[in-house]
Amino acid sequence: MKNKRHSIKDIAAALNVSVTTVSFVLNGKAREKRISEEVTKKVLEYAKSINYKPNQLAQSLRTGRSKIIVVMVEDISNYFFSKLARIIEDIAYDKGYKVLFCSNENKDERSRELINLFRERQVDGYIIVPSPGIQDDISELVLDDIPVVLFDRYFPEIDTNYVIIDNSEAVHNASQHLINNTYKRIGFITIVSNQTQMEARQRGYRDAMKENGLPEFVLEVHFYEKNTDKIKEMIVDYLSNNQLDAIFFATNYLTQLGLEVIRESFPERINELGIITFDDNDLFKIYFPPITAVSQPLEEIGKELMNTVLKMLKSTPEKPYRNQKILPATLIKRNSSFSNKTT
């Protein structure tokens, strides 16, 4: 029962009309192009009966539109990104778009390769978590009137659309929460980075400490890909040398490593330490002690991103759609059942 694919030509041949007529009818232009009711009906019925589906490649080649949107994140296996991917995927399919996900590993080379790859496929729009050095590539897309929305971080120097959260505000609030709960020696573990989101988070922490006259303890680690041992060592040293009563992890993979370190080297401190992590994870709510987390509004971010891309697709170069959105994050407070304090 090998049902080979039907083309518009097959329909035309079967009904003894021209491909032009078939195309007009199938694109809902029958009226406009004055195709008779009779022929219109005939074509529609026949197309339906053989379950005709247009070849999207041919269609895209001709129209220049592919109905595909690329979502390029740092790492699709990261909780934050994969959850968001699902949300974006759902919205996109609803609107008749398909989504291509890919990971750039925060490397410029990879980002560029991917962007080129997709340009060759005439992808309609891009949702990108940019690696540090691809400003020019992003600029180029913008210049070529290809819809791009950045998220998680952005380039202040170039005028692009983006959807981010108020990182410094979020960390500031969360730090204040720790302070309100009588923690006094609060550490901040982050990665070496000059990307907007990481700088903002650190700023939020430092400001909160200054305002409350508390000492600042910042540990900046290089994020050595696979070499997590090196990072763990640094965290061990850091925890040994400072008498911290609370720790703020600036990003979720650091939280993971940090918790591993605490578990392996300082199990006795786990219940005293106040811990806050940036980015929530379903498992944090079942962790002992539960981890308070700065949670990004995934649904909202996803909606805002898709909305922006779709509106950009509809806009013209003359009156481009502009949207630079900063969303608030929320602090999910979880109480430890062991500790007498609240994180």
Binding a second copy (rule: CB under 8 A), the pick from 27, 28, 33, 57 is 57
18 binds, among DNA, a second copy, none (CB under 5 to 8 A by kind): DNA
19 binding DNA? (CB under 7 A): yes
For residue 59, give the nearest of 118, 146, 141, 122 by alpha carbon. 122
Site for a second copy in 109-138 (CB under 8 A): 113, 116-117, 119-122
Binding mask 33-62 for DNA (x = CB under 7 A): xxxx-xx--------------xx--xx-xx
> With CB under 7 A, what is the number of residues at the site for DNA?
28
Binding a second copy (rule: CB under 8 A), the pick from 236, 270, 313, 327 is 270
Alpha-carbon gap, residue 15 to 146, rounded angstroms: 40
Q: At what angle do helices 8-15 and 19-26 cross, to 10 degrees?
A: 110
Q: Give a three-class secondary structure readout of 279-291.
A: CCCHHHHHCCCCC
- Number of helices and strands (H, E) in the chain? 12, 12
Q: Which residues contact 99 (CB under 8 A, 6 or more apart)?
A: 68, 69, 70, 71, 85, 88, 89, 92, 93
Say if residues 288 and 262 touch (Cβ distance below 8 Å): no
Q: Using CB under 7 A, which of 9, 121, 184, 222 touches DNA?
A: 9
Tokens representing residue 222 in the block: 């290089």
Question: Which helix (H) or strand (E) covers residue 172, if one does?
Answer: helix 167-180
Under the criterion CB under 7 A, does residue 76 sit at the interface with DNA? no
Longest CA–CA span in the chain (Å) reads 86
Applying CB under 7 A, the span of 5-13, 136-144, 216-224, 255-263 interacting with DNA comes to 5-13
Which residues face 332 on adjacent strands? 293
CA-CA distance, 199 to 206, in Å (whole number)?
11
102 binds, among DNA, a second copy, none (CB under 5 to 8 A by kind): a second copy
Binding segment for a second copy (CB under 8 A), chosen from 9-17, 76-84, 146-154, 166-174, is 76-84
Residue at token pair 């070849």: 55
Based on the shown chain and the rule CB under 7 A, indicate whether residue 8 belongs to the binding site for DNA: yes
Which tokens hold the place of 17?
């009309």
Q: Out of 13, 20, 116, 233, name the contact with DNA by CB under 7 A.
A: 20
Residue 267 found at the interface with a second copy (CB under 8 A)? yes
Binding site for a second copy (CB under 8 A): 1-3, 53-58, 60-61, 66, 75-77, 79, 82-83, 85-86, 89, 93, 98-103, 113, 116-117, 119-122, 140, 143-144, 256, 259-260, 262-263, 267, 270, 281-288, 290, 337
Positions touching DNA (CB under 7 A) are: 5-9, 16-21, 23-24, 26-27, 33-36, 38-39, 54-55, 58-59, 61-63
